[in-house]
Amino acid sequence: MSDTHDADAPETANIEGVASELAAADHAVALTGAGVSTASGIPDFRSEGGIWDEFDPKQFRYSRFQAEPAAFWRERVEMREAAFGGDVTPNAAHRALAELEAAGVLDAVITQNTDGLHAAAGTESIVELHGTGARVVCENCRTRVDADPVHDRVREGEMPPRCRDCDGLLKPDVVLFGEQLPQGALQTAQTHAREADVFLAVGSSLQVQPAASLPRVAGRNGTLVVINLESTPVSDVADYDLRADVTDALPALAARV
């Protein structure tokens, strides 16, 4: 196992080793977590000072959405403004992953994030395990529409917002607490993990299942690379465990492939 604990200067040998693995891979995949987006100004949800210190996660359960949709939507928009209230744009880590895909090196990005920043950076093959906050979905007819105009309607007093086609209740197109992950997205992610020659687990604490199981699946047959500031549950079995800032490590990696 290769290992570095310097967040400011990822060890060159490790970066070059991962770059060589990627260059030789037939199928390379990245799994990204909240740590990829914090440099864009999006707070981590679970860490100290994160979103769940300000908001009660129990208020964002699917059962609460069903029972109290108006109150849910009011607090949902407040939470979105707290998390995305500034000028949120892709950072160097998002751009580096998009560059790796454009170069034909990276085959897919599996993300636990719902912020839409991978797509904004130009990545095309994205598996959104937890959905995306950029859309809302009708609970009745399953029509999906952009979220921003719906958020505006909530701010103007339409609570809960309803589908313009069928009058069904609109829901954020994300996986709420108490909901199952979309089976299609999970199955696609599992297939990528099984087929990966190189699997990058990036900016994730790897604490939340079932996403946390994907690196172990990938590591059985391929090279497992962890890039995260803190140790993770799979750091001890990773082929490369880089304790590094992803906005430093990923651009350095993209520059060497």
Q: Is the pTM of this model over 0.85?
A: yes
Minimal CA–CA distance to 241: which of 256, 257, 255, 224?
A: 224
97 closest CA partner among 9, 201, 221, 24: 201
**SS3 of 157, please?**
coil
- Residues 26-45: tens digit of each pLDDT: 999 999 998 999 888 887 66
Cα 105 vs. chain centroid, distance in angstroms? 20
Task: Characterize 144-155 residue by residue with b for buried, 16 or more Cβ atoms within 10 angstroms of its Cβ, and e for exposed.
Answer: ebebeebbebbe
Residue-wise pLDDT for 48-97, tens only, equals 656 666 677 778 899 999 999 999 999 999 888 877 766 789 999 999 99
Active site members: 130
Do the Cβ atoms of 169 and 162 come closer than 8 Å? yes
Give the Cα separation of 65 and 87 in Å (integer).
28
Task: Give the Cβ contact number of residue 58 at 10 Å.
Answer: 11
Looking at this protein, which amino acid is placed at residue 72? F
Mean pLDDT of the chain: 89
